[in-house]
Amino acid sequence: MPVTTIAGKEVHVNDEGFLTEYDEWSKDLGTELAANIGIDTMTDEHWKVIDFLRADYAEQGETATLRRVSTVGGFNTKELFQLFPKKPARKMSYVAGLPKPAGCI
């Protein structure tokens, strides 16, 4: 796996830039990853989604789909599109330091 430096920390990523090592992620790194995709300010609402994704991944062993985030996590789909415009599932998982969800292009 390629190694790159983000927010001053060396991390393992795949060919698409998604982190491959769960434990290499930190909130500072998440903030930097968000900035890389045009999310300049991470609000409490952003972090609630990211916290859910990381906890769900630790429990389930796979990245939650947009449907799971809204049904199990209780997040409104419209709000997810506002927080993470265009491709929310892909962007949420990227910021959370998780693999792309299954079925995500």
- Its sign, for the CA torsion 64, 62, 59, 19, is negative
Tell me the CA end-to-end span of the chain in Å, nearest whole number: 20
Task: Give the active site residues.
Answer: 104
Measured between alpha carbons, how far is 66 from 80 in angstroms, rounded to an integer?
Answer: 9
Measured between alpha carbons, how far is 98 from 57 in angstroms, rounded to an integer?
Answer: 8
C-beta separation of 89 from 69 below 8 A: yes
